[in-house]
Chain A
């Protein structure tokens, strides 16, 4: 396998909202030796279903095999690979930075530039919330590192296709326009 063919792939996976679904998907990845970069699970517009956004690193063939194996899980309804051009993705990070009177304003400037926000202040720390794509979060973390990061929590990436179409349970042909997102 050529290392150069390896890249990130974002999979949007619609699953039945049942106990054990996450372990079925997670066990599949470990069983088949696929690596998960990040995985986010949450409810959807329809409470019968949950959505997982999974970022994996692999070559085309590997990711195709991942998608096919995911499809075989009975509780998995739909697997879509979202291409970088056709999707928007975001992640959220909470960053606890060591901050006192001497450097607080400098940190606040960085927060401003990144359109992040401060959600907790104490005499020795700040908790900063930043939302954006992975590069932005990384850039912010790098800038804050010299001040001393005490704790970092990231959500992992969520993604969605651009435009009116969505990854929903309805078959393609019945789906049209904005119905997809209205649920």
Chain B
């Protein structure tokens, strides 16, 4: 029997310690956690770790930039709900993770980042490739560890996975000095860790749930406002059941898309700055607002003083007590896991119908539909998003970058399932979409994955084309190429007197770039070419980049100007009623 088998958790019998190095122990820990992929790049300080991984059954994905690796792990996590694992070397390798960690932290994504550091004796001496990565990542991780000896390592790994995946999920970083990787010790993997300061609350308080049920029963104009927490807790079925039982209109945040089917008649789509007009009107007119795993972000609420002015009761369900009361006062605060709380709440509410409220909402839907001005011969980016929906029948996983294309994808691709819309919501990280798409496709080879990107965003992690080509990961990248940093240009048009300071990019030849990486590229310049190109990409075995030359100065509507009230929206025909 190998030392490794001895260390695996047995059925009740205490595993015998096995002599091994810290690096070998790390491999055993990751196997015990069921890790499938490790995204990363080797370097000096992680040579012992990579050496132990070499030949192990764990699959490493060689990325071309650590930021790309972090986003891939993130995409993997968002597509599955399982923690993504990223590995980087000390110094610049570690600091390159920063944006990826901050992205995951803002969106509450379970990530375990492992960094090498210089040997213990060199720490604090400004050694070559030394960075205080635990200090640097303090405010952008849920927790982090500097492992000071090999015998601390198994505990730290166990704790990291536990913290990353439970409660409100988030990224955890483990910094391992090089000589901890080579230090020999007696390895056992703990079955549990006891963290006295970390006891997330899962069960909601029954009195509060009853209070919520009463409010929902008494509501005349209720609205269900669903965020990413509903997806991370796996509450999509409960959300749907509650909405259908009580006839609730449902609006979702960007992070919440897919928590309720976008093609369901009760879906109002996304709310907020670029939400649908009818969702925003519903918010401004509702009397009971039921927030499920959402945090009243400024992009959702607009001006807080004028947010939901007619609301009598806000029910706020969230696993993080610090979110409750942070931005708005909740009349019925419920701390707990969204799914667990909704399960109880469902039993406490009765069937109810709101014909008058729906009549009003349907009127808004008729009067203010999602729409865009159509110009003959031009490719409208919104139409491309609609086309992706049509050719995939809405079954694909969509990842996006950040900007106009992200909002169009959110508006025009009616996400049907949870974990099928992957986007950097909180941090708004350009360069996220493509690597996240690679991670999502590796996680879900059974699903089609389309990356909706922009010409600006795609170039922020374009080097990962090499990674996609290496592994022949079948992600289909659709660049809505408008030659601009489109959202920046839109703001400059509206709020800076059309002074387009540095928002014009021009464009490189993306097809040639793709070819250079060994990836298929397709250029689309006419509206009638859009669908055939999408079909060609779908049929191709492997990654594809489609460069779609869209209308350069298309704007994203509706739009609530930053800090404005949700009922004051700009539409394609000017200010809405």
Q: Do A and B come from one complex?
A: yes
State the A residues within 8 Å of B (CB).
15-16, 19-20, 23-24, 27-28, 31, 61, 64-65, 68-69, 71-78, 169
Residues in B neighbouring A77, C-beta threshold 8 A: 196-197
| B66 at the binding interface (Cβ < 8 Å) | no
CB distance from B16 to the nearest CB of A (A): 28
Determine if A20 and B163 form an interchain contact, defined as CB atoms under 8 angstroms apart. no
Give Cα A20–Cα B138 distance, bound, in whole angstroms: 10
Residues of chain B within 8 A (CB-CB) of A78 are 197
CB-CB under 8 A from A68, the residues of chain B are 321-322
| Nearest CB of chain B from residue A58's CB, rounded to whole Å | 14
Q: 7 A-B residue contacts at CB 8 Å?
A: A16-B197, A23-B135, A27-B139, A28-B139, A68-B321, A75-B197, A77-B196
Interface string of B126-143 (1 = CB under 8 A from A): 000000001100110011
In the complex, A72 Cα to B198 Cα: how many Å?
Answer: 8
Top 7 A-B residue pairs of the complex, sorted by shortest distance between their CB atoms: A68-B322, A77-B197, A74-B143, A77-B196, A31-B139, A74-B198, A76-B197
Chain B residues near A23 (CB-CB < 8 A): 135, 138
Q: Which residues of B contact A65 (CB under 8 A)?
A: 322, 325-326
B146 part of interface (Cβ distance < 8 Å):
yes
Which chain B residue lies CB-closest to A24?
B138
- CA–CA, A60 to B410, complex, Å? 38
B198 / chain A contacts, CB cutoff of 8 Å = 74
Bin the interface of chain B by size. Answer: 10 to 19
Chain B residues with CB under 8 Å of A75's CB are 197
B143 neighbours in A (Cβ, 8 Å): 74
Nearest-neighbour CB distance to chain B for A21, whole angstroms, equals: 10
CB closest residue in chain B, given A64: B325
Q: Which of A16, A24, A61, A72 has a CB less than 8 Å from the CB of B196?
A: A16
Q: Which of B321, B322, B325 has the most CB of A within 10 A?
A: B322
B320-A72 in contact (CB<8A): yes
**A72 proximity list for chain B (CB < 8 A):** 320, 322
A41 CB, nearest partner CB in chain B, Å: 16
Q: Which of B134, B139, B146, B197 has the most CB of A within 10 A?
A: B197
Select one of A20, A69, A71, A74 contacting B134, CB under 8 A: A20
Cβ–Cβ contact B142 & A74, under 8 A = yes
Residues of chain B within 8 A (CB-CB) of A20 are 134, 146
Checking A19, A69, A74, A76 against B322 with a beta-carbon cut-off of 8 angstroms, the contacting residue is A69
Docked-complex contact B197 and A61, CB < 8 angstroms: no
Given known A-B contacts A64-B325, A68-B322, A19 and B146 have beta carbons under 8 A apart: yes
B321: which A residues are within 8 A, CB to CB? Answer: 68, 71
Bound complex: CA A16 to CA B159 (Å): 15
Q: Which of B115-155 contact A (CB under 8 A)?
A: 134-135, 138-139, 142-143, 146
Whether A61 and B325, one on each chain, are in contact in the complex, defined by CB atoms closer than 8 angstroms, is yes
The answer for the CA separation of A75 and B321 in the assembled complex, in Å, is: 17
Q: Which residues in B have their C-beta under 8 angstroms from that of A19?
A: 146
Interface-central residue, A19, A24, A65, A68, by most chain B CB under 10 Å: A68
Give residues 498-526 of B contacting A (CB, 8 Å): none
B195 close to chain A: CB less than 8 A = yes
**Complex: chain B residue closest to A15, CB-CB:** B197
Which residues of A are found within 8 Å of B326, using beta-carbon distances? 65
Could you list 16 further interchain pairs (A-B, Cβ under 8 angstroms) beyond the known A23-B135, A72-B320, A75-B197? A23-B138, A24-B138, A27-B138, A27-B139, A28-B139, A31-B139, A64-B325, A65-B322, A65-B325, A65-B326, A68-B321, A71-B321, A74-B195, A77-B197, A78-B197, A169-B196
Residues of chain B in range 154-169 having any CB-CB distance to chain A below 8 Å: 163
What's the minimum C-beta distance from B7 to chain A, rounded to whole angstroms? 26
Q: How far is the CB of B161 from chain A (nearest CB, A)?
A: 13
Q: Mark B316-336, 1 if CB is under 8 A from A, else 0.
A: 000011100110000000000
Q: Which residues of B contact A64 (CB under 8 A)?
A: 325
User: What is the chain A residue whose CB lies nearest that of B163?
Assistant: A74
Q: What's the minimum C-beta distance from B14 to chain A, rounded to whole angstroms?
A: 25
The residue in chain B whose Cβ has the minimal distance to the Cβ of A75 is: B197
State the CA gap A182–B139 with chains docked (Å). Answer: 36
Query: Smallest CB–CB gap between A16 and chain B, Å?
Result: 6
A residues less than 8 Å from B196 (CB atoms): 16, 77, 169
CB closest chain-B residue, reference A31: B139
Question: Bound state CA distance, A16 and B194, in angstroms?
Answer: 12
A71/B139 in contact, CB under 8 A: no
Residues of B within 8 A of A24 (CB): 138
- Would you give the shortest CB distance from B316 to chain A, in whole angstroms? 13
- Which of A31, A65, A74 has most chain B Cβ within 10 Å? A74
A169 proximity list for chain B (CB < 8 A): 196
